[in-house]
Structure formats: C-alpha cells, structure tokens
Chains A and B, each alone.
Chain A
Amino acid sequence: MAAFASEGWDLRSTLIGDLGPLQDLTSEGKEPEAEAGEPQFLGEVTRDNLPPLLLTLTLSNPYSFSLGVENQSLDVFCQEDNVRVGVGRLEGKILEPESRENLTFLVEFTPEGSRHLLERHVRGSYLEAMLELRGDFRLDLYGLKFRVSQEMSFWVYAEVGE
C-alpha cells in the first residue's frame, strides 16, 4: 500500500519506475539508419588493375546508449552475373549515444573478380557495374551479439586508363 501510495497509485510506475535506456527500444520511430556514400577507387583503374574501393557508410544511433559495430567482412558480388568479386572489410567502431558515425568499407577485389569486372563490365573506356555486399552485419549491444543478414547494392563507375 505504501509503495502504491508513494507512486500516486500508478500501477506501472510502482512496478517499474523508470526504464531508463530500455525506454528507447520500446518507443516508436527510433531505429538506426544507414546511408551509403559514393564509392571511390583508391588509385587508377586500368585494363589490368583494379585497385581497392572505399565505400563510406553513415550510421546513426538514435538511442541513449552506445552501439558497437564489430569488425566484419562481407562478400562482394557482381549483381548482374552473381559472381563473387571480392571482400569488403569494415573496421569496428562504437557508435556513441544519439550520434552519427562514418564507417568505411574497404573492398578488395580477388584476381578472378578483377578479371571478371574488367573483362565483362568495361564499356568503352568506363567501368560500370552494380556490386552487392552480402553477409551478416554484426552489432554488439552490451555483450549481446546481433547478426543481421544484409544485402546492399551500389554502383561503381570509373574511367579506365590504358
């Protein structure tokens, strides 16, 4: 009786007063968002060389607690031909509460992947291909590990030198 009286006879606040950061998880409209930037080759693309590719990903953390993005690698496929062309590596980062962070995927092409892209997707003097990152995106929330299957496609476009 004393407990209920001290909380103004409110059942919910008597049972669990303040949920703290857990309230964020139950409130609608709060979801992390991802935005991919323009991919950029780290060097000149030539007919026999495909340098690594940088892809910037801006992630937002709307919650009042930090989220950990783990070190991870995702396979990169040529979407048109469904051929694995390389691997994208992401260095882990802690997303501070209510912040936006830029994460960088470094895509390194396999020799077979480079050959495929340079032989099949160069039109005139331009490389044009739709690539797709496939794999599990891994998040860490205070020791709880979340694995979300992810497929994210993006265009690469670059002038091919001789």
Chain B
Amino acid sequence: MRKREFNWFGLIAGPLMILLPLLGAWWEFELGAGAVDLSFSPFTFRLEALGEPVRSTLVSYICLGASLTLVISGVFLLLASLYPRRWWSERLLKFGATKLLWMWISFLLLLILLSAVGNLLAGRFSALEGLRLPYLSGSSTPVLNVDDAVVTLPLRMSLRWPFFFALAPMVLGVLSRIYHRRFAKD
C-alpha cells in the first residue's frame, strides 16, 4: 500500500490564507489627532475624517472581492495539498498558490507609489512645498502655506503586523507550487 502523500507547504499556507482577511489592516495613516485616520489592506478599508467614517462602496466591493479571492485560494490550496495526485490538484494549486504574492507586491507598490506621487506633487506645486511623505512607515510634520495661513500637519504611517504575517502564507504558497512539481513528475 502506497503511503499517503501531502504537499506540506500548501497544508500550512492554505489555512493561513483563509485566516488572513480576518486579521485587519496592513497599513495605517494618521493625520493630526483624528483629522484623517486611514487603515487598509487588500481586504479591509476604514477611513475616518474629523471623527466621522467616510465610506466608499467601490473600495468596499474591491476589498470584498479580494477577501473572497484569497479565501477561495486558501481552500483550493488546501484541497490541492491534501490530494496532490488528483488530476485537478495542479489546477487548483496554480490558482491558489500565488494570488497572495501578487496582492502583497501590488499593495507594497501602491504604498510606495502614493508617497512618491505625494512627494513629486510637493516638488511641483508651491502650495505643497514643505510636504514630505515618509515611505511605508514613519512620521513627519510638514508645514504648508495655504493662502494667508500656515498649516502644520503632523502625519504618521505605519505597517501593521498582518502585513508581515502575510509573508508566511505568501512564501509557503510559492514553496508549495515548487514542491508540487514532484507529484507531476512521478
């Protein structure tokens, strides 16, 4: 009797992927003391301005879509890892293994792009002179001249632990795909 085989990387990565959308925001941005509070990840979005929530239906639906995609990816990865020799196993694994990788990279690039665009605009427009946005994480206190007023904007950005936690299922997902080749060869 042949010993039961598993894709061990996928077995761990799958449940972690299913769990990930429930862990909350990956990144936070605070302007002032509650003037603007933004926290988001590909699966969650919360924006508060002057103490009141600001809603975006489009972003909510995008987050819902991303959450469902990752949960389905996790389930597929788990099934493919439990039954690595079934004919459908490789197809499910192909779908599930690298979705998180692209989400994570896109999220990182989006954050870098946001700061880069902000800093670029600050260099172009005199009204934004003095604006310096940190990249990914950090704080700054730009002082802007707006009409006759001088406005001080203390701002802070920080990456939260679920962002780093996502690295685990992401790397394991990629490893599961590499590991899965052995089942195709046999």
Verify that A and B bind, or say they do not.
Answer: yes
B47 CB to closest chain A CB (Å) equals: 9
Check A144–B153 contact: CB distance below 8 A: yes
Interface residues of A in 118-162 (CB under 8 A from B): 136, 141-149
Known: A142-B34, A143-B35. A16 touches B54 (CB 8 A): yes
Q: How far is the CA of A18 from the CA of B60 in the complex (A)?
A: 14
Q: In the complex, which of the residues B33, B54, B55, B151 contacts A22, with contact meaning CB atoms closer than 8 Å?
A: B54
Known: A141-B32, A143-B33. A15 touches B49 (CB 8 A): no
Check A15–B149 contact: CB distance below 8 A: no
- What mask results when residues 15 to 30 of chain A are scored 1 for a CB within 8 Å of chain B, else 0? 1111111100000000
B31 cross-chain contacts in A, Cβ below 8 A: 143-144
Q: Which one of A1-9, A43-51, A78-86 contacts B?
A: A1-9
Q: In the complex, which of the residues B33, B50, B56, B62 contacts A65, with contact meaning CB atoms closer than 8 Å?
A: B50
Check B32–A17 contact: CB distance below 8 A: no
Prevailing SS type, chain A contact patch:
mixed
Q: Which interface class (under 10, 10 to 19, 20 to 34, 35 or more) fits A? A: 20 to 34
A4 cross-chain contacts in B, Cβ below 8 A: 58
Check A20–B53 contact: CB distance below 8 A: yes
Q: How far is the CA of A90 from the CA of B52 in the complex (A)?
A: 30
Interface residues of B in 55-71 (CB under 8 A from A): 55-58, 60-62
Q: In the complex, which of the residues A3, A14, A18, A142 contacts B35, with contact meaning CB atoms closer than 8 Å?
A: A142
A144 cross-chain contacts in B, Cβ below 8 A: 31-32, 35, 151-154
Q: In the complex, which of the residues A19, A136, A145 contacts B54, with contact meaning CB atoms closer than 8 Å?
A: A19
B32 CB to closest chain A CB (Å) equals: 3
Q: How far is the CA of A136 from the CA of B143 in the complex (A)?
A: 15
Check A15–B51 contact: CB distance below 8 A: no
Which residues of A are at the interface with B, using a C-beta cutoff of 8 A? 2-4, 6-7, 13-22, 65, 136, 141-149
**What are 23 inter-chain pairs, A to B, with CB distance below 8 A?**
A3-B57, A4-B58, A13-B57, A17-B55, A17-B56, A17-B57, A18-B55, A20-B49, A20-B50, A20-B52, A21-B51, A22-B49, A22-B54, A65-B51, A136-B150, A142-B34, A142-B50, A142-B51, A143-B154, A144-B35, A144-B152, A147-B149, A147-B152
- Nearest 6 Cβ contacts at the A-B interface: A143-B32, A143-B33, A20-B52, A142-B35, A3-B61, A145-B152
4 A-B pairs besides A14-B56, A65-B51, A65-B52 with CB distance below 8 A are A3-B57, A14-B57, A15-B56, A16-B54
